[in-house]
Amino acid sequence: MNSLCTDEQKKHLLKLTTLVSDKRLSGQEAWSAFSKPEKSKKFKGKRPETERFTFAEAEVRTYKDLRQIVQNKLFERCGGSCSYCRRAVGHYGWAWHIEHVLPKSKYPAKTFLLSNLTVGCVHCNMWKGSRVDKQLRTQKLPIINPVELNFQYSKHLNFVQIGTESLSFAKYLPRTAEGRETYELLSFKELERAHAINGVDGSAAALHERITRGMQIGLGTEEGRQLAALLQRLKTSIYNLP
Q: Contact residues for Zn ion (CB under 5 A)?
A: 82, 84-85, 121, 124
The span from the CA of 88 to the CA of 95, in Å, is: 9
Question: 222-240 and 188-200 are packed helices; what angle lies between their axes, rounded to 10 degrees?
Answer: 60
Q: Give the nearer residue to Zn ion in terms of CB position, either 25 or 85.
A: 85
Least separation, in Å, of the C-beta of 89 and Zn ion?
8
Residue 120 CB, nearest distance to Zn ion (Å)?
Answer: 6
Nearer to Zn ion, 41 or 216 (CB): 216
Nearer to Zn ion among residue 1 and residue 82 (C-beta): 82
Q: Whole-number minimum distance, CB 93 to Zn ion, in Å?
A: 10
CB nearer Zn ion, residue 59 or residue 181: 181
Q: Shortest Cβ distance from residue 31 to Zn ion (Å)?
A: 20
Q: How far is the CB of 82 from Zn ion (least distance, A)?
A: 3
Helix axes 7-21, 57-77, angle to 10 degrees: 90
Instruction: Give the residue among 82, 106, 105, 109 at the shortest CA–CA distance from 17.
Output: 109
CA angle 34, 30, 134 (to 5 degrees): 120
Pure H helices in 143-201? 153-156, 177-185, 188-200
Q: Which of 217, 194, 216 lies closest to 206, judged by CA? A: 194
**Closer by beta carbon to Zn ion, 15 or else 171:** 171
Choose between 50 and 158: whose C-beta lies nearer to Zn ion. Answer: 158
Q: For 86, which DSSP code?
A: -
Q: Give which of 29, 32, 38 is closest to 60, Cα–Cα.
A: 38
Minimal distance in Å, beta carbon 121 to Zn ion? 3
Q: What angle do CA 158, 160, 163 make, to 5 degrees?
A: 170
